[in-house]
């Protein structure tokens, strides 16, 4: 059953699909996928080509926008758009601390979650395409991890694609998680340096907050234990277009004077809780490193191990001297499963995933080298989340891929400059620019 309803300028239709949990066992257990169809209200009855949008992540449901903002407005000029909640996210069959115990214990949960990587998402897309488009290939737009999925799509089922558009999401085809994080920490350090250059007053503010956390037990309203490492992880926002400004505004009023002296304010702690909690997207923490697993090597908490190679990120050492406190970025650590109540029950499951030695390849370099699908990618010049050098090496591997390399945007260019970004990429892939 489908339900349609209106928002300003658009008609939305809820779509639901049933797909195998394991596509290699089509007669086995099934899960449900949810997607939202969007069409311009003045084109409702037109026969339009389809554009499938794959959200970044992993572990995030598709955008919940109102009307036709940003890139969506540009897409709706010529497409009927499908916003897919990838398996385990949004309104699809959920995978959280509340639902995963239905699978059994940690071993069963970890086994279940091995089916939530990009290859399974691609096969989901192919399973629903016939019902959505009548079998016609569609254009797929992948942002960040969605771009990883599009690269997998080009490897696994290029016959399903009319056009492939990637924004900030060209993955390395063969890098282990260790390689990814060794490239990431220097980029993160550059972003932090740029933040302090823009807002020099924040260097002392960050040190003061970190020092307070080293000497006090701070628990957020939801039960999250705010350690100095957790505070440093707020640097994940520095890879977005407005992230440096958001971080500055967060830091500027962190402390409040009370009868017992200065302490972190309720307002500050409430904002930090919203930024740090994984309650809405636990899959991001659970399977993040597995998106780089492609052989017998375990990921083995890669970000935590590799961070030890960069002692400048050690808060205690920075505070003992005159070095600035460095924030961190897009990395998952074991302590998150101790601090965050949404993740605590899943620590053993996460450990088992980190120890797995049977990851299978996600990409097919030979098939990508013979690609015939029109494909274009926006590569952001100093992307904090996806290494630019890795992306460009992959771009050279995919036959016919055109790149738009720009430093006008950060990783979320499709959000901050959506109409212009999508317009530019569609022109490139059509040889109109």
Record the tokens describing residue 378, joined without a space.
């926006």
Q: How many angstroms separate the CA atoms of 347 and 130, rounded?
A: 39
Catalytic residue among 92, 144, 155, 233: 144
DSSP 8-class letter at 340: -
**Which member of 176, 195, 281, 411 is catalytic?**
411
411 is annotated as an active-site residue: yes
Residue 259, C-beta contacts closer than 8 angstroms, at least 6 positions apart: none
Alpha-carbon span 52 to 160, nearest angstrom: 11
Please say whether the beta carbons of 324 and 192 come within 8 A.
yes
Catalytic, out of 24, 217, 358, 431:
358
- Indicate if 144 belongs to the active site: yes
Q: What is the maximum span of the chain, computed from C-alpha positions, in angstroms?
A: 70
Side-chain half-sphere CA neighbours of 76 within 13 A: 23
- Report whether 277 contacts 342 (CB < 8 A): yes
Taking the CA atoms of residue 45, residue 136, residue 171 and residue 106 in that order, the dihedral angle to the nearest 10 degrees is: 90
194 Cβ neighbours under 8 A, 6+ residues apart: 238, 244
Which are the catalytic amino acids?
144, 358, 411
């Amino acid at each position: 059953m489908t339900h349609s309803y209106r928002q300003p300028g658009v008609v939305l239709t809820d779509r639901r699909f049933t797909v195998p949990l394991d596509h290699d066992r089509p007669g086995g257990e099934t899960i449900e996928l949810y997607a939202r169809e969007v069409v311009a209200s003045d084109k409702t009855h037109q026969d339009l080509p389809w554009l499938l949008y794959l959200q970044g992540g992993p572990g995030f449901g598709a955008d919940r926008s109102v009307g036709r903002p940003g890139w969506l407005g540009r897409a709706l000029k010529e497409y009927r758009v499908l916003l897919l909640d990838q398996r385990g996210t949004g309104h699809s069959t959920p995978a959280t601390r509340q639902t995963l115990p239905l699978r059994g214990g940690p071993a069963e949960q970890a086994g279940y979650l091995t089916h939530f990587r990009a290859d399974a998402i691609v096969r989901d897309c192919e399973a629903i395409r016939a019902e959505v488009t009548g079998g016609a290939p569609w254009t797929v737009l992948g942002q960040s991890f969605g771009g990883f999925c599009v690269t997998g799509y080009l490897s696994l089922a290029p016959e399903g694609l009319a056009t492939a558009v990637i924004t900030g999401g060209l993955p390395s085809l063969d890098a282990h998680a260790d390689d990814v994080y060794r490239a990431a920490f220097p980029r993160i350090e550059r972003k932090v340096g740029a933040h302090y250059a823009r807002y020099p007053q924040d260097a002392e503010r960050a040190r003061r907050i970190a020092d307070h956390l080293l000497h006090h037990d701070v628990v957020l309203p939801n039960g999250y234990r705010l350690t100095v490492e957790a505070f440093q992880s707020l640097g994940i926002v520095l890879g977005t277009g407005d992230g440096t400004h958001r971080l500055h505004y967060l830091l500027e009023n962190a402390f409040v004077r009370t009868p017992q002296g200065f302490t972190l304010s309720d307002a500050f702690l409430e904002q930090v809780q919203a930024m740090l909690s994984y309650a809405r997207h636990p899959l991001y923490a659970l399977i993040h490193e597995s998106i780089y697993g492609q052989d017998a090597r375990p990921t083995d908490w890669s970000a935590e191990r590799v961070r030890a190679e960069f002692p400048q990120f050690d808060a205690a050492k920075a505070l003992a001297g005159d070095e600035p406190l460095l924030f961190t970025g897009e990395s998952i650590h074991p302590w998150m499963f101790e601090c965050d109540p949404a993740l605590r029950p899943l620590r053993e499951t996460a450990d088992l995933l980190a120890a797995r030695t049977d990851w299978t390849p996600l990409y097919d370099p030979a098939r990508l080298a013979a690609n015939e699908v029109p494909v274009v990618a926006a590569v952001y010049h100093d992307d904090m989340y996806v290494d630019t050098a890795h992306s460009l090496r992959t771009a050279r591997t995919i036959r016919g891929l055109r790149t738009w390399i720009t430093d006008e945007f950060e990783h979320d260019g499709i959000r901050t400059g959506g109409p212009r970004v999508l317009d530019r990429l569609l022109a490139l892939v059509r040889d109109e620019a």
